[in-house]
Structure 1
């Protein structure tokens, strides 16, 4: 029997401190293991996957819980997991900002003969603010239609998330729908977008892109220890959310930058940008960034295996006895994500389904070769979306 959990996130751009460090610390590792299966051109939602795995942890016991806990840097106390997740989600996703809106909706779809333990159901409904819906999974077409209707009526900018096949071998589906919409604080002028070459890490032309262009005062640092230039492009009028564009130095590969993340964190980067701005002020910077769209559809089993999560996928060893007395396991965790970056802002969505330096006068950031990007909530330094752009296409 298979345990299905689905989490869906859509973002568009048109707790406490100790706990908030957890989802951001594993983001680089997760992106690293995922990009190995996608040829390096990828977008994922680390916060969304973290939310999914936190929900799984609430129902897991034994080694199933311990492996999730270690991989996703969760506290040992289940009470702390629940409380911390609740407060962090509120901090990251429920901020009000002119020019940015972000919402989160949770659903639990259960088969009509599937028995949830009362404590688990209470935790999901009260602490994860989930709406519980009982459906007849045997009529898989009708179940999918009703589930998708519930999701769409929640205000999510997505349609037809679940298919009839998702219900055929499942007993429970847990879905988290996140919608993020924001505009650049300083939008690009579409009339300045031009067709330009894009290069690989060996300085060879590998395609063309519609290159957006603007000049303005932006935080920009040359972080020697990261072998990269880092620029921050903010969303909304209060700049509570932003995109960090990390462009490796000429001749430096994205993979080399990954290795540097062992000693440099996202909060370190944010602090460096802030310190440089305080010490040197903001210079006028020329920014060139491709207008792009990336879609990723990947089974996360192997990346999670690489992070030490095994038992939840094994019918013999999986243990979800906090959720139910039935013998269930996760057959697959599928993550679907896409991102669009244009002159006005960023549109990103993600669906995860579990069946179950020294600054030295840099005034340009020309992203005409592979680069990394992170969309973050700044007060907690939480990575909501992350990716690599390395395969040019016209968009």
Structure 2
């Protein structure tokens, strides 16, 4: 059997209900998959590990692979990604979605790069290559996988350039030794706060776990400003429109509740809060943090419904090659840094959350979830959790 290796840079409930093409919403698909992926990754990571994920890049890779999959392999991808069997609406929506996503905004840099590295001796099917290039803006690059060090070096150079040298060693020669195809999807985000935090106000503050036990200290940033802020009874959480949410319930409990509703409900709630209460000052306390994550997502994706593609005797990717491939691994490296000036992520962009009661203070001094959201497409691009104050630098 040939091996197909897939990588992504960072980047729900999975349902068995088939999605009708008339009901298809690309942002709902991206968000539902992203919440599911985040929830299971946090579950696998445990309480002591901070998490950074580019859920959007993983979704993109899976959507491209769907174009080359058949039979049960395709059905599992469709169900978990919430994509209809008729993929024409997906292709059309993805082109428009990408155009909107990449529209420039002041103080924000957002770049997307998706590439397929193919074996020079076994070119991929022309029909698959055409769809990948025209519908998903994928660059196809032939490589000599018989020279693993050279192949790994070329892939790493591509990733380093796309992430402004924030991720310079994405793969090792061992990762591509038996590869016939290697896919990568990269998202780079850099954003400046509209109102930066004053560095002189940053101070040491105690960080607590979910049981209110002191577990360390963080560099807590502070400012007073007007932020959309709300208390959502349906998810037992306080929300604020910076890229982060502070919860009273356990993180797993909040994610479970969020997975049962369209994520756009939370975005709309914050927009409503901004219109109704936009001039109320909030005392904002947010830790500085830097998180690097390095995951093999095979188990996580299997748990949320993508199974056969990882099995050499079950995977059907005959839409890519005339011989059988399987997905040996899906790896992700992601990095995010939040400071007084703004946010840099090697895979993301952001803000989220909802409704509203009187909010004198928003103090993120215990485990919290964060979502970086593109408001023009109402889609989650990057997400994670902060739970261990001792590994934030």
- After TM superposition, the structure 1 stretch with the greater mean CA deviation from structure 2, 152-161 or 273-282, is 152-161
Residue 108 (structure 1) aligned with residue 109 (structure 2): no
CA separation of 1:222/1:105 partners in 2, compared to 1, >3 Å: closer, same or farther?
same
Matches within 5 A, 1:60-75: 60-75=69-84
- Contact 1:58/1:82 (8 A) holds in 2: no
- CA deviations on 1:292-325 (whole Å, 9 max, x unpaired) are 1122222211111111111101111100111110
2: distance between equivalents of 1:161 and 1:66? 30
**Which of 193, 200, 204 matches 1:191?**
200
1:99 to 69, 94, 107: 107
What RMSD in Å do the two structures reach over aligned CA positions? 2.1
Question: For 1:312, what is the secondary structure of its paired residue?
Answer: helix
Give me the whole-angstrom Cα distance separating, in 2, the residues matched to 1:304 and 1:152: 26
Matched, 1:138 2:139: no
Aligned in 2, Cα 1:79/1:204: closer, same or farther, shift over 3 Å?
same
Equivalent residue in structure 2 for 1:267, among 257, 264, 267: 264
> Deviations for 1:140-196, whole angstroms, at most 9, x for unmatched residues?
112222333344455744323332222211011122222212111111111110011
Equivalent pair of 2:270/2:355 in contact (CA under 8 Å): no
The structural deviation recorded for 1:53 is: 0.6
Partner of 2:28: 21
Question: What aligned pairs does 1:108-127 form with structure 2 within 5 A after superposition?
Answer: 108-127=116-135
Question: 137-146 or 283-292, which moves further after superposition?
Answer: 137-146
Structure 1 partner of 2:211: 202
SS in 2 for 1:4: strand
Contiguous gaps of at least 5 residues in structure 1: 11-15, 234-242, 352-356
CA deviations on 1:251-294 (whole Å, 9 max, x unpaired) are x2222212321444321112112222323343110010111112
Rounded Cα–Cα distance in structure 2 between residues aligned with 1:163 and 1:305: 24
What displacement does 1:99 show? 0.5
Cα deviation per residue 1:318-350 (whole Å; 9 max; x = unaligned)? 001111102110011122222111111112225
CA distance in 1, matches of 2:256, 2:163: 40
The aligned residue for residue 228 of structure 1 is 237
Partner Cα separation in structure 1 for residue 195 and residue 330 of structure 2: 37
The unaligned stretches of length 5 or more in structure 2 are 12-22, 349-353
Name which of structure 1's ranges 108-117 and 208-217 shifts more when overlaid on structure 2: 108-117
- Corresponding residue number in structure 1 for 2:281: 284
Pairing 1:57–2:56 present? no
| More displaced stretch, 76-85 vs 339-348 | 76-85
**Equivalent of residue 373 in structure 1, options 370, 373, 386:** 370
